[in-house]
């Protein structure tokens, strides 16, 4: 029998069993804030890989959740690495769920649970692909590695960072399949080729030892809230342009190829046009202007994520705040450097009379960008053509941030995406779910990627 038919037959016949296995993993409430559940989930993942003939190592760290590393030698000398994570977002608000968040519940062709998509569902669809390959071929066609961490949702991928620093040789591969992937609102599969970076800072002002009564001090001593407002205003005015000297120096404009890929997208790169159109004054049913698509991802941002000063309760209080604080996230585009942003802010404030504004560096993530036409990307795109009804569409850059730069820019490995996400997945929200048809397609896509890599 044709191995492809055997593979696809196996996936179809074992979908229920695979979802039952997923239900067992979802039952472990491995919220990123619960260390014991994280350890249980890591042990569960290690067992699941051992059962499939993988050599498994569980790496533990003082300051990161365990990382499960697994490897199974394949027929060809080439190597495929799957990166996934077993931690999940908290399920709150609980009362918004239609079924218990840690009990995978199937209804209407979907399966609902925290982690059903992000990222336990993705991991289990990869395991279903491995099972199908082993069933059809008796072995995996390429060497397959898994690296599965537990710090993706809340810990800045601390586990993956440790692996990259301490065990980079284990992560060597001919290609990396990223934790997630998926289709757009029209079921067109998407190939995500990059993420923006992030610099996160707190701006803190303290003008007095403690708050004062505004009636006495109001005319005389500096108010921390006003200082913060003026400092923030100096960063960015209503035109949206960031006024920090040097901020745009390392910004690479999109290449003509990037622009062409953007132009071909029917939606914003993050698929959010329907959600954002009204707030932009655009028709949600209308076309998405290329300029809007470009701005959505190829321009860096300075976003106020939080403001805090003085009295915030009901009613009124006449206080002169001694302290004020803003949280800001800067989305960075290639090739801005996150560590540079707090230094540029410090210089900006010093130059504009805001020496009293403290800049606290809360960490950052570099941008990641793949060559849109890298052979491994094209292999994954071609493999998708075998299983999806529509050709995969390349998205040159997303607005969000991720740890993909560790593989692409630290280890120099090509990364591509494949997965079962869709616009109704409700990631990080109540009623997170997967579509069973997309789950099977993602498993099939994974088998085709392995087969093509073996043949290539």
Q: Does 424 bind a copy of itself (CB under 8 A)?
A: no
**Conformational region of residue 271, where left means phi above 0, alpha means psi within -120 to 50, and beta covers everything else:** left
Which CB atom, from 140 or from 235, has the smaller least distance to a copy of itself? 235
Q: Does 355 bind a copy of itself (CB under 8 A)?
A: no
Q: Does 93 bind a copy of itself (CB under 8 A)?
A: no
Q: Does 266 bind a copy of itself (CB under 8 A)?
A: no
- With CB under 8 A as the contact rule, which of the stretches 85-93, 99-107, 121-129, 204-212 interacts with a copy of itself? 204-212
**Are 132 and 449 within 8 A, CB to CB?**
no
Which CB atom, from 103 or from 275, has the smaller least distance to a copy of itself? 275
Q: Residue 260 CB: number of other CB atoms within 10 A?
A: 13
Which CB atom, from 138 or from 215, has the smaller least distance to a copy of itself? 215
DSSP 328-344: EEEEE-TT--TTHHHHH
- With CB under 8 A as the contact rule, which of the stretches 130-138, 295-303, 342-350, 432-440 interacts with a copy of itself? 295-303
At its nearest, how many Å lie between a copy of itself and the CB of residue 270?
4
Q: Does 117 bind a copy of itself (CB under 8 A)?
A: no
The residue among 285, 187, 276, 253 whose CA lies nearest residue 397 is 253
The residue among 258, 265, 316, 270 whose CA lies nearest residue 296 is 270
**Are 434 and 117 within 8 A, CB to CB?**
yes
Tokens describing residue 39: 């350890």
Residues near 165 by beta carbon (within 8 Å), at least 6 away in sequence: none
**Are 396 and 261 within 8 A, CB to CB?**
yes
**Conformational region of residue 109, where left means phi above 0, alpha means psi within -120 to 50, and beta covers everything else:** left
Exactly one of 222, 423, 424, 456 binds a copy of itself (CB under 8 A); that residue is 222
For residue 407, give the DSSP letter: I
Residue with tokens 């599965």: 148
Q: Does 150 bind a copy of itself (CB under 8 A)?
A: no
Residues near 178 by beta carbon (within 8 Å), at least 6 away in sequence: 83, 192, 402, 404, 415, 416, 417, 418, 419
**Biggest alpha carbon–alpha carbon distance for the chain:** 89
Q: What are phi and psi of 345, to 5 degrees?
A: -65, -45
At its nearest, how many Å lie between a copy of itself and the CB of residue 339?
16
Write the binding mask 296 to 315 for a copy of itself: x where contact by CB under 8 A, - elsewhere. xx-x-x-xxxxxxxxxx--x
Q: Does 64 bind a copy of itself (CB under 8 A)?
A: no
Q: Does 33 bind a copy of itself (CB under 8 A)?
A: no
Which CB atom, from 150 or from 414, has the smaller least distance to a copy of itself? 150
Q: Does 251 bind a copy of itself (CB under 8 A)?
A: no
Q: Does 286 bind a copy of itself (CB under 8 A)?
A: no
Q: Does 238 bind a copy of itself (CB under 8 A)?
A: yes
Exactly one of 35, 284, 287, 363 binds a copy of itself (CB under 8 A); that residue is 363
Residue with tokens 């533990």: 60
Which CB atom, from 96 or from 216, has the smaller least distance to a copy of itself? 216
**Are 348 and 234 within 8 A, CB to CB?**
yes
Number of residues forming the site for a copy of itself (CB under 8 A): 69
Tokens describing residue 253: 């404009």
Q: Does 382 bind a copy of itself (CB under 8 A)?
A: no
- With CB under 8 A as the contact rule, which of the stretches 9-17, 50-58, 275-283, 410-418 interacts with a copy of itself? 275-283
Strand partners, 204: 325, 358
Which CB atom, from 133 or from 183, has the smaller least distance to a copy of itself? 183
Give the binding site for a copy of itself (CB under 8 A).
196, 198, 200, 207-208, 212-223, 225-226, 228-230, 232-233, 236-238, 268, 270, 272, 275-276, 279-280, 292, 295-297, 299, 301, 303-312, 315-321, 324, 326-327, 329, 331, 353, 362-363, 398-401
């Amino acid at each position: 029998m044709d191995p492809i038919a055997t593979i696809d037959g196996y996936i179809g016949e074992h979908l229920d069993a695979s979802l039952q296995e997923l239900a067992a993993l979802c039952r472990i409430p491995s919220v990123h804030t619960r260390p014991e559940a994280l350890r249980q989930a890591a042990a569960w993942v290690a067992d699941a890989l051992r059962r499939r003939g993988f050599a498994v190592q569980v790496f533990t760290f003082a300051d990161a959740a365990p990382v499960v590393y697994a490897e199974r030698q394949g027929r060809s000398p080439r190597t495929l690495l799957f990166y996934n994570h077993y931690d999940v977002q908290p399920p709150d608000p609980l009362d918004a769920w239609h079924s218990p968040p840690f009990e995978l519940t199937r209804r209407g062709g979907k399966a609902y649970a925290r982690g059903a998509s992000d990222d336990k569902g993705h991991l289990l669809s990869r395991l279903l692909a491995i099972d199908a390959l082993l069933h059809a071929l008796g072995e995996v066609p390429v060497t397959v590695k898994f690296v599965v961490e537990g710090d993706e949702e809340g810990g800045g991928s601390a586990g993956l960072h440790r692996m990259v620093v301490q065990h980079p040789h284990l992560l060597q591969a001919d290609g990396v399949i990223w934790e997630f992937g998926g289709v757009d609102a029209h079921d067109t599969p998407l190939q995500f080729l990059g993420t923006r970076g992030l610099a996160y800072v707190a701006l803190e002002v303290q003008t007095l030892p403690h708050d004062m009564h505004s009636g006495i001090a109001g005319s005389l001593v500096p108010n921390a809230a006003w200082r913060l407002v003026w400092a923030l205003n100096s960063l960015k005015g209503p035109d949206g342009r960031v006024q920090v000297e040097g901020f745009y120096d390392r910004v690479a404009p999109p290449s003509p190829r990037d622009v062409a890929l953007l132009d071909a997208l029917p939606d914003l790169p993050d698929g959010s046009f329907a959600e954002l159109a009204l707030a932009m004054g655009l028709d949600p049913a209308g076309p998405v202007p290329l300029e809007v698509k470009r701005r959505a991802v190829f321009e860096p941002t300075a976003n106020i994520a939080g403001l805090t000063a003085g009295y915030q309760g009901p009613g009124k209080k006449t206080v002169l705040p001694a302290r004020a604080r803003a949280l800001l996230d800067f989305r960075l585009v290639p090739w801005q450097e996150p560590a540079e942003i707090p230094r540029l802010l410090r210089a900006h404030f010093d130059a504009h009379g805001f020496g009293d504004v403290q800049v606290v560096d809360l960490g950052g993530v570099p941008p990641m960008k793949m060559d849109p036409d890298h052979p491994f990307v094209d292999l994954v795109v071609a493999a998708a053509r075998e299983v999806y009804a529509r050709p995969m569409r390349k998205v040159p850059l997303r607005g969000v941030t991720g740890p993909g730069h560790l593989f692409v820019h630290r280890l120099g490995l090509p990364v591509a995406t494949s997965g079962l996400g869709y616009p109704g997945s409700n990631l990080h929200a109540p009623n997170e779910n997967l579509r069973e048809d997309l789950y099977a397609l993602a498993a099939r896509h994974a088998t085709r990627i392995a087969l093509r890599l073996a043949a290539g």
